[in-house]
Structure 1
Amino acid sequence: MRYSALLAFATTMSTLSVAQPNSSGKEVMNGFPPSRASQVSFENYRDYPFSKWSFHNMGAPMHTLMIPRGGAVHSFEETDNSFGQLKVTTKEGALMSIENIFAGNEADGIIIVRHNTILYEKYWNGFSRDYQHIWYSMTKSLTSTAFGILVEQGKIDLSASPVKYVPELKGSPWERTRIQDVLNMSTALGFLETYTDTSSMFYKYYGGASRFFYVPGADTVTKGEVLGTYDFLTRMATANNNIRPGYKFEYNSSNADVISWIINKVTGEPYQQFIYENIWSKLGTEHDAFITTDRAYTAMATGGINSTLRDAALFAGMILHRGNVDGKQIIPAKWVDETLNISDEDKERLMRNEVYPKAGLGWIAYKNFWWVLDSRNGEYCAVGIHGQVIYINRAADLVVVYFSSQPVASSAASKNFPPKLQACRELSKQFMK
């Protein structure tokens, strides 16, 4: 269906579909000073409904580093924003407007872009155009994108062990892996990523080192205690010797810390500087980004980027256009394309995972820190916990970016995650007819 027809239909429907406010029913940061019951703290910043405030004010509970913008600001074309009233088919077979789907599933903001035109842009929960929102693990996709620059420059061998570039990892679980295994989350680690088991290694030690979780006493460093994420990688992480690296997908955020450490070592620059010089300053963003840090003030390349919704859409648009921004090649097209070069082995690796194939979200593979839905049509996503998503569909020439404050962290376990992803996929079908 042509865009003009879709827009006309959406305009007609705007009088028939009214968005419901997204409300938790509880005040957050209410009063001056805020009441004790409404106060956001490092202990509760990820807990719903406090996350509705903290996720777009992450400079408050976290330590951060700046990633400046640069150059001329990119200009989008804009419409009357009625596109949000377009109805799509839900998984249950009902028709519902895009706006109502997102408003009803804990979205904080959404932007839909096609042919450099913003078809729809909407904000909830105090979030707005000029606020930065946490990306969480969408950051990993930015990290692998930056990493691809070094790969295509011939500075990194994907078949080599990370130890080749980070000698400190000798004796760690990553010594026996290939760098490609790290990018594919198939490193056969001996500990699982969990957001709920407070006694687990991931929660107690990685969570404390990264300042991702509130762990009582973790900020008080004593002799022999893990300091930052790099200390965790070299001193605490364990291997699962019953599985060979490369065989099975097992999501673990520490893999992205390995990739960022390689970036630091190969370039001699901190992660945030490399992102600024090679990506963020070249996108035409409106605003600076910032990134949260671990306990040692190292940038959290696994999940720390914060940006505005429009600026995230500019990054997504660059990926959609195979690394190109306004006629300038920022990322090698070969590297961007490689993520969609999905083999049977890539698919089988994901299918061996116990959780994600059963979640029914449509993923066929995970490669280079991206979630792939349909490699033929170029349909894939960057995904962060609590409902952060960059959705890209090459065949539809479509980008959808949305930020959320879903109560449940995991996409595979959240009831709020599937309806929004389904809406994106249904919307793409409209443009592919």
Structure 2
Amino acid sequence: MENMLPVAVIGAGPQGLAAAAHLVERNVPVVVLEAGASAAAAVQEWGHVRLFSEWTELVDAAAHRLLEPTGWTAPTSGFPTGAQWIEKYLAPLAAVLGERIRYRSRVTGVSRRGRDRLVDAGRGEQPFVVHVTPEEGEEYRLLARAVIDASGTWATPNPAGADGLPAIGETGAAEALSYRIPDFRDREGFEGKHTVVVGSGHSAVTAVLALARMARRDPSTTVTWALRRATTGNAFGGGEADELPARGALGIRAREHVEAGLVSLVTGFRTERVARDGDRTTLIAEDGRTLTADRVVVLTGFRPDLSFLSELRLELDPTLQAPVRIAAEVDPNVHSCGSVAATGAADLAQPEPDFYLVGAKSYGRAPTFLALTGYEQVRSVVAELAGDHEAARRVELALPDTGVCGGAGLFDASGTPAGGACCAPPLLSIGRTPAAV
């Protein structure tokens, strides 16, 4: 009877939809539970942002095969925006999957039927019970033979506070802070104003580049880029050594804008307090330095929401909150996660049999997750669930290298960081003096 139950996939984003496509291809029943009103709801929120992966790296193979009979043609060149990714691929894929996807259905808990986390007896023989709260109607339970959690991390951004918790006053000032890449087509919200960008990842670099272009057109527009580390570390990425050229170009352009004076870079700025004075926001660092701005954009990464998995037995790395078998590979303290090997079912397996974290959530708090990584993960996981163990063990992906061969650099040292970019230009030397605002 258990084999008649569906596999429950949490999240109808790119990896959740790809997992469903692989399950359909293998004739395995599947139910996709999506909290949003449509597929790829998180992608819609950053639909204005252009990806640094080309179309050929953004379409899953099983999804391609599922879509082809409908007359769909795969885009073959260019770098789409999030909105274009939805329009030309994700939405058509969701349409083909049809009623297998349940929208406005938020998962609030996952456990074993009749077994809480403490119970050993007969645990593996019981199906999963997934608690679902729909937007309308009563909560219900869905029984499943396996669970693939592809819910991502988009809904849980990291705070501005340097210690991983909101800075004093940050929660009260939340409406004045943006934790997503703003739509800079709304120029009136930024032109002629001072914006502080907090963070060092690709999202922060993307925001800095858009603001620098505004500053070039209008000198009254000012931009400050605040990094927590005492050096620039790998903030500029791998440059020309990055095997994803568009990703490498982000760092190259950011470096050029800083050197040209369009962006003021402040290092070692660890936010302790957030204060509001009328329409302006002031960030106060642990060392007493301040940055006052009209707009503050906090792009400090994301973290997984594990709250609804509390009754499952998970083995997660204590630092990254990622599956332990992949944690060392993706830890940004060690090296960039674009230089790691592809991960499959064996790497993602948990003490709770037939439960898998995939997609961005599988990287925990580590950054720079690629769609290609997720597609290989779900291919392997679905093969394992379907009993095709040889296919599950097979590796069908070689990830492009970021060109960054070291870690993120020494956190407090003001000299040369431990990490660096292979064959990339030398790190820019930036002092610790805050920009005038």
Higher relative contact order (CA 8 A, sep 6+): 1
Structure of higher CA gyration radius: 2
Same fold (TM over 0.5): no
